[in-house]
C-alpha cells in the first residue's frame, strides 16, 4: 500500500506491533487487543462494535468467546496473523476511514466489499441457478481483476469476494491476485468440489484466501440441487481444510425444500464439528429465465430462519448472518455500493448479485464513474427501501421499487442468456413480498416497540 497516508502508516505499524504481543495466549492478550482498538478508533467509528466485543470478553464461557479462542486452536498461526492484519487493520480500520473520506468527497456510495465473477463457467449445474444457463461464455482477465482491486483500494475497499460461475475454475489467477494484493482479504463462494490438497497448500502459502462453501443441508438436500455425489466432495474438501488448519465457512441457500434442515440445531452442530467458522444464509431468489419460483421459501420458513439464526448467535460458536433477515442490523439494503456491489464475468457493474441490471461496464467506466452512475445514485437516494428493515430488498420485499429504479436509470438486463424484463422479474416475487409483509411488521413491532 504505497499510497498510504502518514496516519494510515502509523495505524498499520501499530497493528503489526499488536500482532507481536497477541502471542499464543488469547485469555491474556485479547484485552490488550481491545485496548489498542479503543486508542485507534479516535473518531468513534466502531463504538457499538467495541462495546459488543468488550461484553464478549466478559463471558469466557460464552459461545462468542469460544469462537474467538478457536481461531488460536484451530487456525494456522500465520494465517491468523494475516487475517488480523488484512481484515482488522486494512479492511476495517484503514479501509473504512478511506471509504468515509471518499463518500464525502465524491458524494456517492463507496462499498466495503466488491463481489466479482472471474468466470461464468461452472463445473456443476444446480437446479434454479442462473449460472447453470451461462456456461463458459464470459471471463474477466487477470489484468481486469487486478485493475478492479487496484482501483478499489484507492477508494478504501480491501475486501474482495469471488462468485460465479465457480470461481475456482480460475485457481491460478485467484492465487496470483492473493500474492500481488497481499494487503487484501479474499473470500470465495465456491461449491468446493475443486478444493484439493494442492490448492489447500497454496491457500496456506498466500494466507489471505477463505472459502465460503455452498452447501444445501445434509447429503439428500445438497445432492437434490447440486447433483449426486456433490455432498461427499464437499465433506472431503472440509476435511482437507480442517486438517491444514485453514479457515472456512459455509454459504447456505434456504428454499422451500430445505429451510427446516438448514435451520436445525443438528445441521449447525455438524458444520461446526466439521470446522466451519461462519455461516452465511441466503433465501432463494427466482433470478433468470430458468428460475424455479416454486423453490422460494414461504413466509413461515423465513420467520423460522429469523428466529433460529438469532438463537444460534446466543448458543453456537459460529458467526451467522442472514442477508435478508439481518437488514435491521445494517439499516436495510446493503447493495448498490452502500456496503457492496457485484461485477459479473462480462464486466457489468451491478448493484447486487441478485439484481442483474447495469448501466456501467468496467471496460468503459472506472469504479468511481460507476458509483456515480444513474443506477447507483438512484439506489443511494432510495435506500433504505423500507423503514421496516426486515423488508430491506427492492426486489423481494418491496414490489415496484426495483422497477422504478431500473426504469429511471435506463439500466439494461445483464443476463448472459436471456435478458429479463424487470417487470416480469418483480412479478415472480410479488406474492412472497405480500405474504412476508405482515410477518415482518409483527417481528419489527416486537423488536422495536417504540416505533
Cell triple for residue 126? 444446480
pTM of the entire predicted model: 0.92
The DSSP result for 403-449, as a single string, is: HHHHHHHT-EE--SSS---HHHHHHHHHHHHHHHHHHHHHHHHHH-T
Helical (H) or strand (E) element with 34: helix 26-40
Q: Look at 146 and 43; give whichever has higher pLDDT.
A: 146
Residue 54's Cβ-side half-sphere holds a number of Cα atoms within 13 Å equal to 10
Question: 384 burial class (0-12, 13-18, 19+ CB within 10 angstroms)?
Answer: middle
For residue 14, pLDDT beyond 50: yes
Alpha-carbon torsion 258, 331, 387, 381, what sign? Answer: negative
> What number of residues does the chain have?
451
Cβ neighbour number for residue 284 with a 10 Å cutoff: 24
Question: What pLDDT score was predicted for residue 418?
Answer: 83
The whole-angstrom separation of Cα 260 and Cα 241 is: 27
For residue 137, pLDDT beyond 80: no
Over pLDDT 70: what percentage of the chain? 90
Cell triple for residue 119? 468466470
Question: What pLDDT score was predicted for residue 380?
Answer: 98
- Residue 348: pLDDT band (50, 70, 90) is very high
Please compute the mean of the pLDDT values over residues 416-420 and round it to a whole number. 83
Worst-scoring range by mean pLDDT, 5-19, 228-242, 306-320, 346-360? 5-19
Residues with Cβ within 8 Å of 14's Cβ and at least 6 positions away in sequence, in order, are 36, 40
Question: What pLDDT score was predicted for residue 26?
Answer: 73
Distance of CA 447 to the CA centre of its chain: 25
The whole-angstrom separation of Cα 359 and Cα 413 is: 9
DSSP bridge partners of 210: 187
On whether the CB atoms of residues 185 and 159 are closer than 8 A, the answer is yes
Q: Look at 249 and 3; give whichever has higher pLDDT.
A: 249
- Residue 354: pLDDT band (50, 70, 90) is very high
Question: What pLDDT score was predicted for residue 244?
Answer: 98
- Choose among 309, 251, 313, 255: nearest CA to 276: 251
Question: What pLDDT score was predicted for residue 290?
Answer: 79
Cβ neighbour number for residue 442 with a 10 Å cutoff: 12
The whole-angstrom separation of Cα 102 and Cα 109 is: 9
Question: What pLDDT score was predicted for residue 1?
Answer: 43
Please compute the mean of the pLDDT values over residues 58-75 and round it to a whole number. 90
Over pLDDT 90: what percentage of the chain? 75
Please compute the mean of the pLDDT values over residues 388-393 and round it to a whole number. 98
For residue 232, pLDDT beyond 80: yes
Return the beta strands (E) in 122-265 as ranges.
Answer: 159-162, 185-190, 209-214, 249-254
Cβ neighbour number for residue 107 with a 10 Å cutoff: 11
For residue 310, pLDDT beyond 60: yes
For residue 209, pLDDT beyond 60: yes
Using alpha carbons only, what angle is made at residue 327 by residues 39 and 408, rounded to the nearest 5 degrees?
Answer: 110
The whole-angstrom separation of Cα 321 and Cα 298 is: 19
For residue 327, pLDDT beyond 90: yes
Worst-scoring range by mean pLDDT, 26-40, 224-238, 362-376? 26-40
- Residue 152: pLDDT band (50, 70, 90) is very high
DSSP bridge partners of 349: 343
- Residue 403: pLDDT band (50, 70, 90) is very high
CA distance readout (Å), 183 to 90, 111, 160, 206: 7, 17, 11, 11
Rg of the chain over all Cα atoms, to the nearest angstrom = 21
Amino acid at each position: 500500500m504505497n499510497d498510504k497516508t502518514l496516519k494510515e502508516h502509523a495505524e498499520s505499524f501499530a497493528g503489526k506491533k499488536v500482532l507481536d504481543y497477541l502471542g499464543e495466549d488469547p485469555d491474556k492478550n485479547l484485552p490488550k487487543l481491545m485496548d489498542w482498538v479503543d486508542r485507534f478508533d479516535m473518531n468513534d467509528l466502531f463504538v457499538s462494535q467495541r462495546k459488543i466485543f468488550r461484553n464478549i470478553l466478559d463471558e469466557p464461557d460464552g459461545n462468542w468467546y469460544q469462537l474467538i479462542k478457536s481461531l488460536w486452536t484451530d487456525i494456522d498461526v500465520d494465517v491468523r496473523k494475516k487475517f488480523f492484519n488484512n481484515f482488522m487493520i486494512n479492511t476495517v480500520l484503514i479501509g473504512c476511514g478511506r471509504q468515509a473520506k471518499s463518500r464525502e468527497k465524491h458524494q456517492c456510495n463507496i462499498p466495503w466489499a466488491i463481489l466479482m465473477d472471474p468466470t461464468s463457467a461452472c463445473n456443476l449445474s444446480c437446479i434454479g441457478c442462473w449460472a447453470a444457463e451461462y456456461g463458459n461464455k464470459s471471463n474477466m482477465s487477470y489484468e481486469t481483476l487486478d485493475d478492479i482491486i487496484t482501483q478499489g483500494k484507492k477508494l478504501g475497499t480491501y475486501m474482495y469476494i469471488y462468485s460465479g460461475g465457480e470461481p475456482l475454475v480460475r485457481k491460478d489467477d485467484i492465487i496470483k491476485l492473493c500474492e500481488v494484493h497481499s494487503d487484501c482479504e479474499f473470500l470465495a463462494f465456491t461449491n468446493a468440489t475443486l478444493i484439493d490438497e494442492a490448492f489447500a497448500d497454496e491457500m496456506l502459502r498466500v494466507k489471505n484466501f477463505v472459502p465460503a462453501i455452498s452447501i444445501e443441508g445434509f447429503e439428500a438436500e445438497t445432492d437434490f440441487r447440486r447433483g449426486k455425489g456433490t455432498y461427499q466432495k464437499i465433506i472431503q474438501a472440509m476435511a482437507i481444510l480442517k486438517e491444514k488448519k485453514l479457515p472456512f465457512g459455509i454459504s447456505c441457500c434456504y428454499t422451500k425444500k430445505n429451510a427446516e434442515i438448514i435451520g436445525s440445531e443438528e445441521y449447525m452442530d455438524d458444520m461446526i464439528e466439521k470446522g466451519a467458522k461462519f455461516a452465511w444464509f441466503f433465501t432463494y431468489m427466482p433470478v433468470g429465465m430458468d428460475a424455479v419460483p416454486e423453490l422460494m421459501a414461504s413466509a413461515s420458513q423465513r420467520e423460522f430462519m429469523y428466529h433460529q439464526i438469532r438463537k444460534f448467535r446466543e448458543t453456537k460458536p459460529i458467526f451467522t448472518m442472514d442477508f435478508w433477515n439481518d437488514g435491521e442490523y445494517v439499516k436495510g439494503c446493503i447493495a448498490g455500493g452502500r456496503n457492496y456491489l457485484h461485477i459479473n464475468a462480462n464486466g457489468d457493474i451491478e448493484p447486487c448479485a441478485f439484481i442483474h441490471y447495469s448501466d456501467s461496464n468496467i471496460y468503459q467506466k472506472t469504479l468511481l464513474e460507476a458509483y456515480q452512475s444513474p443506477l447507483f445514485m438512484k439506489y443511494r437516494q432510495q435506500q433504505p427501501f423500507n423503514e421496516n428493515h426486515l423488508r430491506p430488498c427492492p426486489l423481494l420485499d418491496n414490489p415496484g421499487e426495483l422497477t422504478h429504479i431500473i426504469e429511471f436509470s435506463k439500466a439494461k438486463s445483464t443476463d448472459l442468456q436471456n435478458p429479463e424484463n424487470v417487470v416480469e422479474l418483480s412479478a415472480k416475487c410479488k406474492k412472497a413480498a405480500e405474504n412476508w409483509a405482515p410477518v415482518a411488521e409483527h417481528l419489527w413491532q416486537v423488536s422495536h416497540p417504540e416505533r
